[in-house]
A and B are shown apart, each in its own frame.
Chain A
Amino acid sequence: MADLFAGIGTSHVPGIGAAVDKGMTQNDYWKPLFDGYEPAREWLAKEAPDVVIIVYNDHASAFSMELIPTFALGVAAEFQPADEGYGPRKVPTVQGHPELAWHLAESLILDEFDMTIVNEMPVDHGLTVPLSITCGQPEAWPFKVIPLCVNVIQYPQPTGNRCYQLGKAIRRAVDSFDRDLKVAIFGTGGMSHQLQGERAGLVNAEFDIAFLDDLTRNVDRLVNISHVEYMRESGSEGAELVMWMIMRGALDDDAKELYRHFHVPASNTAAGLIILENP
């Protein structure tokens, strides 16, 4: 049977990807951030999952205002890096896992989560930066990826509770997939940041540290954080953290924290990373 054994929460700041692509990870600005990623890379390489479900958001790349799916699941065999205005990132093509992805789609929809099913979807920094953070610069990504794209740009985003419940449904789906696969899930985005307006640059480290703490200590509090609380306390783009709740929902209630790293700033953002593992 497929086994969903662990989750990673991580920011997906485009500047982090650019630092990797331009070979700047060891300069004074970026080194403290990347040094903190090293233990996570070693852990992931050792665990060697077959498939990773990456929960992320598209930033006006694959989707525009023309079509705004709340939850879109990528079922294709491969996904190309998107052109976000600079030309596509020079990173490997992302290989999908159509069998598990279609099983997820079928199971989730019958479980009353009405997913949008996507066959053609370029993937932007929201998905490829977490791969760079956790894998560095390999010739090919070391596992298959199932993209789960969440609308967090157009208000209202799905609620934290809906995301958490979707995570639980994903777990039921993976548990019922009749093939021996080692599966991990990434929740990406955040942590506190505001890109827009006169309040640009907002960071709330206290909010972020409490969020990291409560992923294992008080999940109920996190599930119930409202949109307005996210926007006010963690910046208008901090609401991306609802995507971490999908990851958390997919893990056991008593999942353990293995590792965390928190660093300010990565460009305009507080960057966080946490590894949670089922007992």
Chain B
Amino acid sequence: MREDRIYSDIPGTYVFDPQHSMQGYHLNMFCMSLNKPENREKFRQDEESYLDRFPLTPEQRQAVLNRDWVGMLRLGGNIYYTFKIAIFDGLSMQQVGALMSGVETEAFQKMMVDGGRPIEGNRFKSEWHNNG
């Protein structure tokens, strides 16, 4: 159970705080390893056996294999680290943004061109819950 923080009521946001950092250390260090071309190649050859090198929890491991982008954030991943997997997969930040927010890439891109996700209605979790 996470302790409530002053920022815990921001919707759809996983603040990379000390709790997250403790939980996600090995997950993020796995992601970091993909900065090296030789490691990218090993991961490409066999994702499962490459992941064996890192003491991930079963949930973290499955989230990586499933490319569960929000799941990785919930399990302590930080977006700048998990994005290394997206780079590996050839995905852009807009594609990952679309996947995390549950829309098609085209819809996400159109939202950005139209000025981005508006702040109105997106400040507090209560605003999301009220809207169903």
Residues in chain A within 8 A of chain B (CB atoms): 14-15, 59-61, 64-66, 82-87, 153-156, 192-207, 227-228, 231-233, 236-237, 264-265, 267-268, 270
B50 at the interface (CB under 8 A from A): no
The answer on a CB contact under 8 Å between B31 and A60 is yes
The answer on a CB contact under 8 Å between A153 and B116 is no
How far, in angstroms, from A153 to B83 measured CA to CA in the complex? Answer: 13
- Are A155 and B14 also in contact (CB < 8 A) when A60-B32, A195-B79, A268-B97 are? no
- Are A200 and B80 also in contact (CB < 8 A) when A65-B25, A236-B15 are? no
The answer on a CB contact under 8 Å between A198 and B25 is no
B112 at the interface (CB under 8 A from A): yes
What is the interface residue range for chain B against chain A? 35 or more
B73 at the interface (CB under 8 A from A): yes
In chain B, positions 17-50 with a C-beta closer than 8 Å to chain A are 17-18, 21, 25, 28-29, 31-32, 34-37, 40
The answer on a CB contact under 8 Å between B116 and A199 is no
Among A83, A87, A155, A267, contact of B16 (Cβ-Cβ < 8 Å): A155
B1 at the interface (CB under 8 A from A): no
Residues of B within 8 A of A205 (CB): 115-116
CB distance from A35 to the nearest CB of B (A): 17
How many residue pairs, one in A and one in B, have C-beta atoms under 8 Å apart?
A: 149
Residues in chain B within 8 A of chain A (CB atoms): 6-7, 10-18, 21, 25, 28-29, 31-32, 34-37, 40, 70, 73, 78-81, 83-84, 87-88, 92-94, 96-97, 100-102, 108, 111-113, 115-119, 122-124
Nearest chain-A residue to B26 (Cβ)? Answer: A65
7 interchain pairs (CB within 8 A)? A65-B29, A155-B17, A197-B14, A200-B12, A200-B101, A204-B119, A231-B10
CB distance from B65 to the nearest CB of A (A): 19
- The interface residues of chain A, by DSSP majority, are classed as loop
How far, in angstroms, from A66 to B100 measured CA to CA in the complex? Answer: 27
CB distance from B47 to the nearest CB of A (A): 16
CB distance from A69 to the nearest CB of B (A): 15
How far, in angstroms, from A257 to B8 measured CA to CA in the complex? Answer: 37
How far, in angstroms, from A206 to B119 measured CA to CA in the complex? Answer: 9
CB distance from A130 to the nearest CB of B (A): 18
How far, in angstroms, from A54 to B69 measured CA to CA in the complex? Answer: 32
How far, in angstroms, from A268 to B86 measured CA to CA in the complex? Answer: 15
- Are A60 and B70 also in contact (CB < 8 A) when A201-B112, A202-B117, A231-B13 are? no
Residues of B within 8 A of A228 (CB): 6-7, 10
3 shortest interchain CB distances as A-B pairs: A203-B116, A198-B12, A199-B12
The answer on a CB contact under 8 Å between A60 and B35 is yes
Residues of A within 8 A of B14 (CB): 196-197, 236
Nearest chain-A residue to B83 (Cβ)? Answer: A195
How far, in angstroms, from A87 to B88 measured CA to CA in the complex? Answer: 11
- Are A265 and B100 also in contact (CB < 8 A) when A85-B87, A155-B17, A197-B73 are? no
